[in-house]
């Protein structure tokens, strides 16, 4: 299996690069942001609670997102691997991901961090906010809070993967194709794992 964590601040290009990676490597895309927005769109109790938190630019509680990832792993046991996009965002989420993947006989091969400075992030997200209908993309104060939460709560996840020699940093400013090629070079340098159980079979690329 091939399991990649795509990491970086809001607006760094995680979602953009994920779409290209699932097409090339036939992986299942697990974006906790997308999973949460699906709950909001469905009007569930979880979605109602998450919306208030996301609109403020804060992190949804660990147990909520870990539960969603657990369910998604259970439902995709035949997958060739996963792109984790926007997850883990805390060290507690990172340790839970290792535990959950170990339960499926696999683990994370590499974490790729896209580095982009704050002014470029603000510019990209305000631009996306013109068409995304995402309240968290339309208010500069909230975008700056998301970047600040990234530095205070999420950036330390990089250290977690660095201690496992899985951390790779890339400049996230530049052409989308150029950055994609650099991510692929990192992924291709990592051997995939064969899970003990269940048997790995090639799954169709799809988003949840
Ligand atoms: P996410 O949905 O993860 O959203 P995001 O951080 O904004 O990143 P995204 O992937 O969408 O943007 P991208 O960089 O691709 O999170 C939203 C909220 O959900 C969080 O604030 C939090 O409340 C909650 N949440 C999600 N996961 C959670 C978790 N694990 N724990 C707790 N809470 C969680 O793209 C941005 C823009 O840049 C795009 O418009 C794109 O076109 C552009 N772009 C990309 N690459 C570019 C490049 N190379 N050059 C120029 N522009 C580029």
| pTM recorded for the entire structure | 0.89
CATH code: domain of residue 87: 3.40.50.300
DSSP 13: S
Number of structural domains in the chain: 1
- For residue 61, tell me if it sits in a domain: yes
- For residue 167, tell me if it sits in a domain: yes
pLDDT band at residue 190 using 50, 70 and 90 as cut-offs: confident
The rounded Å distance from CA 10 to ligand 1 centre is: 4
Query: Percentage of residues in the chain with pLDDT exceeding 90?
Result: 88
The one catalytic residue among 20, 37, 134, 145: 134
Any atom of ligand 1 within 6 Å of the Cβ of 13? yes
Torsion of CA 169, 172, 176, 177, to 10 degrees: -30
Estimate the crossing angle of helix 91-103 against helix 62-75, to 10 degrees.
Answer: 20
- For residue 185, tell me if it sits in a domain: yes
The rounded Å distance from CA 1 to ligand 1 centre is: 25
Is residue 204's pLDDT more than 60?
A: no
The one catalytic residue among 51, 89, 124, 142: 89
- For residue 115, tell me if it sits in a domain: yes
Pocket test for ligand 1, best of 13, 20, 176 (most atoms within 8 A of CB): 13
Residue-range definition of the domain harbouring residue 155:
2-193
Mean pLDDT of all residues belonging to the chain: 92
């Amino acid at each position: 299996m091939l399991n990649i964590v795509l990491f970086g601040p809001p607006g760094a290009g995680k979602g953009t690069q994920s779409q290209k990676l699932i097409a090339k490597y036939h992986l299942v895309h697990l974006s906790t942001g997308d999973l949460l927005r699906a709950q909001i769109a469905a009007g569930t109790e979880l979605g109602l609670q998450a919306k208030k938190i996301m609109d403020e630019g804060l992190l949804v509680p660990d147990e909520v997102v870990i539960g969603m990832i657990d369910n998604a792993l259970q439902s995709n046991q035949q997958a060739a691997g996963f792109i984790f996009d926007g997850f883990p965002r805390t060290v507690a989420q990172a340790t839970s991901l290792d535990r959950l993947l170990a339960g499926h006989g696999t683990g994370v091969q590499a974490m790729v961090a896209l580095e982009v400075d704050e002014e470029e992030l603000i510019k990209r997200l305000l631009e996306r906010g013109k068409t995304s209908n995402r309240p968290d993309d339309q208010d500069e104060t909230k975008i700056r809070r998301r970047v600040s939460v990234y530095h205070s709560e999420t950036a330390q996840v990089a250290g977690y993967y660095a201690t496992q020699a899985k951390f790779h940093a890339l400049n996230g400013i530049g052409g989308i194709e150029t950055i994609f090629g650099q991510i692929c070079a990192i992924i291709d340098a990592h051997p995939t794992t064969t899970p003990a159980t269940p048997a790995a079979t090639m799954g169709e690329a799809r988003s949840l």
